[in-house]
Amino acid sequence: MKNILSALFFLLFSCSVLGQTSVSQITSTAEFNNPLNNVPPEIAIIPEPVEVTKKEGYFVLPTNVTIQCTATPETHQVLTFLQEKLSVPTGSFVTSVSGKSESAQIHLLINDKINHTLGNEGYQLTVTPNHITIKANQAAGLFYGVQSLLQLFPAAIESKEPIEAEHSRSTEQIEWKVPCVEITDYPRLGWRGLMFDVARHFFTKEEVKQYIDAMVRYKYNILHLHLTDDEGWRIEIKGFPKLTEIGAWSVKKVGDFGTFPAPAADEPRNYGGFYTQEDIKEIVQYAKERFVNVLPEIDVPGHSLAAISSYPELSCTPGAENYKVRSGERIMDWSRGAPPIALVDNTLCPANEKVYAFLDSVITQVAALFPFEYIHMGGDEAPFNFWEKNEAIKALMLKEGLKNMHQVQGYFEKRVQKIVESKGKKFIGWDEILNGDMSPNTAVMAWRGMKYGIEAAKNKHEVVMSPTEFAYLDYMQADVITEPRVYASLRLSKAYQFDPVPLSVDPKYIKGGQANLWTEQVYNIRQAEYMTWPRGMAIAESVWSPPAKKNWPNFFSRVEQHFKRLDAAETKYAPSVYDPIFKVSRSADKQLLIDLSTEVSGLDIYYSFDNSFPDRFYPKYTEKLTPPKDATMLKVITYRGKNPIGRMMNMPIEELNKRAGRK
Ligand code: ACM
């Protein structure tokens, strides 16, 4: 019954779209995706393309498909990708030809004459009832055209299994059709990054590939791998076997990371892992075939406890021989802000020549393994308290005329930069590295806030914007009562406000933008996906689409279509955007007042105070609530019309009283 109804609905919906577009052509999905009319948008591409013109009719995928593709090694990757994407779910037989072909239905063509508007990554996609054509200057553009094309197919195109088998007992047959359209599209920025912290928790190479599969749907082109930290050293370095024999392993803990008691001496250190150099090559190749560059990060001089636990001589603090890879116990005191006070010395010693010899070996091997032109050398959150009392550091300061610890770090960064550049690579680090008076050829990743990126750009440094306020994917997406606890929040709507190119800077210094997934509280790949999507879509649109095209209600209507695509792909995402937002205050007579709202429009909130589970037959929230005298729990759930859409949230009244401050 449900299938027949949905088929009917689909028919009605298709007619209405056809009727609409036969009257006028439209140049933006924003114009025909009206999120308030409850009709799912038929064209829902993320990131929003530069220009979209809807045409009449549909291309229907035949059972035998021929793709004509300009023959180069790089276009071959695109062809293989599309062949697999089309043939697996649909069961169509997909072949290819390289020469001109009248019988081919799909054409992937490299322009003979450069189209300057498109640049290196842009594309033109034309869908007519008989043909699909993607044209680009380079193979990368064809790949992004393919991503947009796939998003025009029904969501089931994302299935990793043939759909027929699944649907054989139903009356519904998926029609693999694509609305006719003309799209011209190219990115706003060349650096569209996602950082994946594989150090705090280890993720296998297959999981990293899975992460890449998801990111390329949204036209990300840089995977920043945070390879080393206090909790693990994740890359094999020849000549330093202990980095992976000792440095890659901690004691398995689950719960609230950062609060665990220090492990006992006899607890097994068998949690973690690392990538062999062969694994790294495999990841880099997999990424390359999907037009993703891999940016390696070796985070020094702070965040280095795994390296020091392996080679204590890299520290200049007595007692480092007893240090162990961190298993989530408290090692920093942040109560006085940044830089933190270290409880164990997790810094490499800037006054120790062995450190630079070590880094030379590491960087030589990293430079050979990762073809990307940049190497990220961290530089964030280095605590100074152990350096301050160290005799070797004091002697270095005297010798080099360094006046304070920022200059000591600056001395270190300059030496590391020299090593990186000696391997033919560009040096990039977190924005603290600029405290040390670096030359303009130092690129920075601005994380502490947009203002650090703005300042760096004004000083003529290349900048990648990845500020906490918009782009930190480890932050909670909704209320702490439904999310794993982290110290800060970042809702989808806020992530969508990310503008990596502030008006006050010369845009030529802004290389791009990036979202960062730190994984202290992310214990598995499903949670990594949950934290990344849908906020990763918001960041993708912020770095790809023209700012004038950004529109929150329209974006969210597309996100909802992409939830179906991620369901089909079995990629996890957070439904947190549907959860109500709790605000509390007190009335003049000190009563608790509870204000409920939602991040997206068109939802109703139903609630109970009697511990039973509210549904749409319960009171609907319309104005601030005061709990009945003895109530202990407020339960809420959001609906869209008759359908529950948010999660059941159980909010203790005690918690709300705490948030409002005591009476
Ligand atoms: C950072 O978040 N510490 C770069």
Q: 169, exposed or middle or buried, with CB in 10 Å at 0-12, 13-18, 19+?
A: exposed
Residue 429 is predicted with a pLDDT of 98
Long-range contacts from 18-23, C-beta under 8 angstroms, 24+ separation:
18/56, 18/57, 21/54, 21/55, 21/56, 22/56
| Statement: the pTM of the whole predicted model exceeds 0.85 | yes
CB-based burial, 213-223: b 16+ in 10 Å, e otherwise: ebbbbbbbbbb
Residue 100 is predicted with a pLDDT of 83
Q: Compute the distance between CA of residue 331 and CA of residue 438 in angstroms, rounded to an integer.
A: 29
Q: Compute the distance between CA of residue 139 and CA of residue 368 in angstroms, rounded to an integer.
A: 25
Instruction: State the average pLDDT over residues 62-81.
Output: 96
pLDDT in tens, 381-403: 999 999 999 999 999 999 999 99
Instruction: State the average pLDDT over residues 591-606.
Output: 97
Instruction: State the average pLDDT over residues 295-300.
Output: 98
Residue 169 is predicted with a pLDDT of 52
Residue 2 is predicted with a pLDDT of 37
Q: Is the dihedral of CA 246, 251, 520, 349 positive or negative?
A: negative
Q: Compute the distance between CA of residue 179 and CA of residue 128 in angstroms, rounded to an integer.
A: 8
Residue 31 is predicted with a pLDDT of 44
The catalytically annotated residue of 329, 381, 413, 579 is 381
Q: Output the CA 391–ligand 1 centroid distance in Å.
A: 29
Q: 494, exposed or middle or buried, with CB in 10 Å at 0-12, 13-18, 19+?
A: middle
Q: Compute the distance between CA of residue 68 and CA of residue 546 in angstroms, rounded to an integer.
A: 31
Say how far residue 329 (Cα) sits from the centre of its chain.
Answer: 26
Q: Output the CA 502–ligand 1 centroid distance in Å.
A: 21
Q: Output the CA 472–ligand 1 centroid distance in Å.
A: 9
pLDDT in tens, 450-462: 999 999 999 999 9
Residue 99 is predicted with a pLDDT of 83
Q: What are phi and psi of 253, to 5 degrees?
A: -135, 145
pLDDT in tens, 146-195: 999 999 999 999 999 998 655 555 556 789 999 999 999 999 999 999 99
229 noted as active-site residue: yes
Residue 424 is predicted with a pLDDT of 98
22: pLDDT strictly greater than 50:
no
The catalytically annotated residue of 42, 158, 197, 229 is 229
Task: Find all residues with CB under 8 Å of 462, minimum gap 6, and list them.
Answer: 428, 443, 444, 509, 511
Q: Give the pocket of ligand 1 (CB within 6 Å).
A: 380-381, 430, 447
Q: 297, exposed or middle or buried, with CB in 10 Å at 0-12, 13-18, 19+?
A: buried
Residue in the block written with tokens 């694994």: 279
pLDDT in tens, 226-281: 999 999 999 999 999 999 999 999 999 999 999 999 999 999 999 999 999 999 99
Residue 98 is predicted with a pLDDT of 87
Whether the Cβ atoms of residue 293 and residue 223 lie closer than 8 Å to each other:
yes
Task: Specify the length of the chain in residues.
Answer: 663
Could you tell me the pLDDT band of residue 431, with boundaries at 50, 70 and 90?
A: very high
Ligand 1, atom 2: closest residue by C-alpha: 447
381 noted as active-site residue: yes
Whether the Cβ atoms of residue 495 and residue 538 lie closer than 8 Å to each other:
yes
Whether the Cβ atoms of residue 513 and residue 539 lie closer than 8 Å to each other:
yes
Ligand 1, atom 1: closest residue by C-alpha: 380
Of 38-47, 129-138, 152-161, 468-477, the least confident:
38-47
Q: What are phi and psi of 394, to 5 degrees?
A: -60, -40
Greater pLDDT, 46 or 36: 46
Residue 480 is predicted with a pLDDT of 96
350: pLDDT strictly greater than 60:
yes
Could you tell me the pLDDT band of residue 18, with boundaries at 50, 70 and 90?
A: very low
pLDDT in tens, 315-328: 999 999 999 999 99
Mean pLDDT of the chain: 93
As beta bridge partners, residue 127 has: 132, 181
Q: Compute the distance between CA of residue 61 and CA of residue 129 in angstroms, rounded to an integer.
A: 10
pLDDT in tens, 355-387: 999 999 999 999 999 999 999 999 999 999 999
Q: What percent of the chain has pLDDT over 70?
A: 92
Distances (CA, A) of 261 to 90, 202, 251, 255, 653: 52, 21, 11, 11, 31
- 10 Å Cβ neighbour count for 648? 14
Q: What percent of the chain has pLDDT over 90?
A: 89
End-to-end, the C-alpha distance of the chain in Å comes to 55
Nearest ligand 1 atom, CA 378: 4
Q: Which of 230, 380, 487 to mutate to test the pocket of ligand 1 (most atoms within 8 A of CB)?
A: 380
Which domains does the chain show, CATH number per domain?
Answer: 6-16+189-569 (3.20.20.80), 51-185 (3.30.379.10), 579-660 (2.60.40)
Nearest ligand 1 atom, CA 516: 2
Q: Which of 224, 381, 465 to mutate to test the pocket of ligand 1 (most atoms within 8 A of CB)?
A: 381
Outline where DSSP puts E strands in 70-227. 93-97, 106-110, 123-127, 132-136, 177-185, 191-197, 222-226
Q: Output the CA 320–ligand 1 centroid distance in Å.
A: 24
Whether the Cβ atoms of residue 133 and residue 107 lie closer than 8 Å to each other:
yes
As beta bridge partners, residue 295 has: 224
The catalytically annotated residue of 303, 376, 461, 562 is 303
Mode of pairing for the β-strands spanning 374-376 and 341-342: unpaired
23: pLDDT strictly greater than 90:
no
Could you tell me which of 28, 45, 40 has the C-alpha nearest to residue 145?
45
Rg of the chain (C-alpha set): 27
